[in-house]
Structure 1
């Protein structure tokens, strides 16, 4: 099977959206978790090539896109771009519905519980994120590691070295721009990804209940 790793082209976007959804549950297929299949990719795939296509790379075979990496070189500037260019249209398309009445089993301190309308999907969580993206990265993290990324690969492309090939393409592009470092979040339910980043040379900057923040100094080379 021949797999190309190449810079993003506009026609890759639908395939990237499919990959994002089919890997959106800590690497597993999230299709059944969302009523609207575009909601999750609107957050974690679509805006990156729109804002800076030079930091998106795809892996494709004869059947189409089976993996990608997206990134921004400056996370705080990217947040500003989202507010100006990306979120406004999505906020019109996905208005924030009234909060549902709490269920007896809901934990009011848990944002996931308070946002759950009880329809069996995670759509509302994505809509909440679109309207309330959350605070920017801490200053200490941003100053040393201003770039961040997301990488997703379908099962049929795993085990073929695609993750490393995609990361090599991205890291080369970031280093050419003089970006000092990058960070990413790895969910606690995805230990395979955590081990992959450690092998690449990332280190764990902090661990939280949801998972780990991992970082890489771009002055170093891949291990």
Structure 2
């Protein structure tokens, strides 16, 4: 396997991997009626916003089996997403019936939600952890050490851009991912809420993970 920069023809693979890891690390194919909906929220906007911060993991025949995606400035990304990304999706996905409890309905409500984000001290100027990332690997790529290398690659890019720190969100039940990030030196930035946990690290200060370490599961940037 090897890592390489993202190319536009990789977009469908981002959607696919996001879905196949989207149930706290498990395959969410049977969870969502619309197979692209999860990727519309957690993968594709990053490729549209700044493809230079998207790296893919590929097999010898160039099949994409994982990705790490991120942004250097969370608040700027959220402003762009509200201005450019959400409006066409809100037209494509009308608000569902309030009584609809399905996973698809919950994601569509998230697309339409304009509620201000709760206080995030790590984003208050001068922001200590302005960047964030998502990483997802298919099972065949987990436990290989590539997850650590991909995160280190993105961290190096962010350091080159002068970014002081990054954060990420992880599902509260994704214990393997939480343990992995803890070994990388990421620490909780706030108390868990809504089943999720926000972790962060100052760039250049994290401890190295063991070669066999790798994350699993869809991560939720907050």
Instruction: Provide the secondary structure at the position in 1 that maps to 2:94.
Output: coil
Pairing 1:217–2:202 present: yes
Kindly report structure 1 stretches of 4+ aligned residues shifted beyond 4 Å. Answer: none
| CA deviations over 1:128-149 (Å, ceiling 9, x no partner) | 0110054336342112111111
Contiguous gaps of at least 5 residues in structure 1: 101-114
RMSD of the TM alignment (CA)?
1.5
Partners in 2 of 1:163 and 1:137 — Cα distance? Answer: 30
Structure-2 residue corresponding to 1:194: 178
| CA deviations over 1:138-177 (Å, ceiling 9, x no partner) | 3421121111111100101101111111101100110000
Partners in 2 of 1:51 and 1:197 — Cα distance? Answer: 25
Contiguous gaps of at least 5 residues in structure 2: 209-222
Pairing 1:64–2:57 present: no
Structure-2 residue corresponding to 1:21: 19
The equivalent position to 2:138 in structure 1, one of 149, 154, 157, is 154
Q: TM-score by structure 1 length?
A: 0.86
Distance change (3 Å), C-alpha of 1:29 and 1:88:
same
Q: TM-score by structure 2 length?
A: 0.87
Tell me, yes or no, if the aligned pair for 2:20 and 2:28 is still in contact at 8 Å.
yes
Q: Once structures 1 and 2 are overlaid, which stretch shifts more, 56-65 or 9-18?
A: 56-65
Structure-2 residue corresponding to 1:145: 129
Pairing 1:163–2:161 present: no
Tell me, yes or no, if the aligned pair for 2:15 and 2:43 is still in contact at 8 Å.
yes
Tell me, yes or no, if the aligned pair for 2:96 and 2:109 is still in contact at 8 Å.
no
Task: Quote the offset at 1:57 in angstroms.
Answer: 0.6
Partners in 2 of 1:182 and 1:133 — Cα distance? Answer: 24
Structure-2 residue corresponding to 1:111: none
